[in-house]
Chain A
Amino acid sequence: MSTEQHVALVIVSHSTSIAAGVAELVGQVAGPDVPIVTAAGGPDGSLGTDGGRVAEVLREAVNGNGAVVLADLGSAVLSVRAALKELGSAVDSIVLVDAPLVEGAVAAGVMASTGAPLADVATAAEAAWNARKL
């Protein structure tokens, strides 16, 4: 509903199940105001990444209130980088963060739910490296 007022999260994963699960968890913890979109799995739905789908999702994200992108492993990161390069100067509003996927998405989602600006949401995601579990 408040899409215009909240930074969005983009989850890029090799697995549609992982992406859907992360999005569900973040939705529970951060509440309904934070837009979460996913680009996950290969073109045929198998494990993998689909550069076209990633580019499409990021192109849509450009129109919002900024977006933080979290990716799971290697080629997911590469496909985000390639898509950002393609988008060129429009990508100021999209930040690919270096963060653990689940923890980073939860931290970023909660920060975004407070209406925080893009830079703060990105910082929250990256600070997830420092949070001990035990």
Chain B
Amino acid sequence: MPESSELVRLPDGVALHARPAGEFVRAAATFAAAIEIKANGRQANGKSILEILGLGADGGAELRITASGDDAARAVTELAGLVQRLA
């Protein structure tokens, strides 16, 4: 199964809390690929808002976004872009 991964940095001052995490999940849900985020040595299902909130990722934190599935490459590109544009 195709897999794709990218390391992105949350913008400074933008923690991955409820509203941005909701944006992420809504975008992630549009892909068939399984999405995973790693941050702070933790791992979350990219389609579960509560798991993402549980990462406790603060502004400036590095996120490893990994997707596996047919649309993995497109998913990672789009989600990495979304994270960098969070404000």
Measured CB to CB, the residues of A under 8 A from B are 25, 28-31, 103, 106-107, 110-111, 113-114, 116, 124, 127-128, 131-133
Contact = CB atoms under 8 A, between A and B. Distances in A.
A110 B26 contact: yes
20 contacts: A28-B18, A29-B22, A30-B22, A30-B26, A31-B22, A103-B50, A106-B18, A107-B50, A110-B22, A110-B26, A111-B29, A114-B25, A114-B26, A114-B29, A114-B30, A124-B48, A127-B50, A131-B48, A131-B54, A132-B54
Contacts, number: 45
B19 A107 contact: no
Nearest to A100: B50
Given A106-B22, A114-B30, A132-B54, 5 more contacts: A29-B49, A106-B49, A110-B25, A127-B48, A131-B53
A113 B25 CA distance: 10
Contacts of A106: 18, 22, 49-50
B21 interface: yes
Contact of B19 (A28, A131, A132): A28
A110 B30 contact: no
B54 A116 contact: no
A124 B48 CA distance: 8
A73 B42 CA distance: 32
Question: Main secondary structure on chain B at its contact with chain A?
Answer: helix
Interface in B1-34: 18-19, 21-22, 25-26, 29-30
Contacts of A113: 22, 26
B58 interface: no
Contacts of B54: 131-133
A85 B30 CA distance: 36
A103 B52 CA distance: 12
B70 interface: no
B50 A128 contact: yes
Interface in B22-67: 22, 25-26, 29-30, 48-51, 53-54
